[in-house]
Amino acid sequence: MNILNNLTDRILLLLLALFCLLSVQIPAESWTTAPLSPAQSRCLKAYGHPSQFFIQFSCPGFPKRRIEKWLYPDQGISIMFDNGFFVKRSTISKNLAQACATNAKSKPEHFVSTLTRKNIINWLGQPDQTEEIYLGKHTISAIRYIKLGKEMTSVTFYDDNIVGVLSGFVLKAQSAK
């Protein structure tokens, strides 16, 4: 039971680490992008690209699935999609809105399910942080691009398959009190 709690704690830590992310200009024109659904296209037309987004891809061996949450801090909303279909619109807190980049360089369509760890590193360069957790014969790893005061990106892999992306948070220096 203690091992399970430790494993659960590690997984939770890894998921929390997804909230720490990148400051690079992503060359979308040199990369295959994910097609946008009609619902996503309507959202882009209404609000533009999100300042922050989360993407969760299904693990290998499961039906293909892409769950996305796009955040729009200026409007105080988030919009969720499941395989491109609109799921819901929610209100976001002011604290979360303050942590978002205002003109994020990365876009949800830049990240596709076929990207590997090697692809991301070739594309974005060496990460500022890496982390690996071993689950039996499988590896969960995260690579993070973090620059103080700039947009951050974290990409998580199950073995060498992309399973999560978090982009658009801004890491700010704490003021002394």
pLDDT tens, position by position, 91-108: 988 776 666 656 667 889
How confident is the model at residue 100, as a pLDDT?
A: 65
Residue 2: partners with Cβ closer than 8 Å, 6 or more residues away: none
CB–CB of 98/83 below 8 Å?
no
How confident is the model at residue 99, as a pLDDT?
A: 64
Domain that holds residue 8: 2-170
User: In total, how many domains does the chain have?
Assistant: 1
Q: Is residue 176 part of a domain?
A: no
Residue 47: partners with Cβ closer than 8 Å, 6 or more residues away: 72, 75, 77, 79
How confident is the model at residue 146, as a pLDDT?
A: 85
Mode of pairing for the β-strands spanning 77-82 and 85-91: antiparallel
Mean of the per-residue pLDDT values for the chain? 79
Find, among 80, 61, 163, 83, the residue nearest to 120 by Cα. 163
CB–CB of 159/169 below 8 Å?
no
CB–CB of 20/146 below 8 Å?
yes
Q: Is residue 37 part of a domain?
A: yes
Spell out, as residue ranges, where the chain has pLDDT lower than 50.
Answer: 1-5, 7-30, 175-177
Which DSSP state fits 109? Answer: G
Q: Is residue 105 part of a domain?
A: yes
- Locus of tokens 């969760």: 56
Q: How far is CA 144 from CA 14, 18, 23, 93, in A?
A: 11, 8, 10, 25
Q: Is residue 175 part of a domain?
A: no
How confident is the model at residue 174, as a pLDDT?
A: 58
pTM attached to this predicted model: 0.75
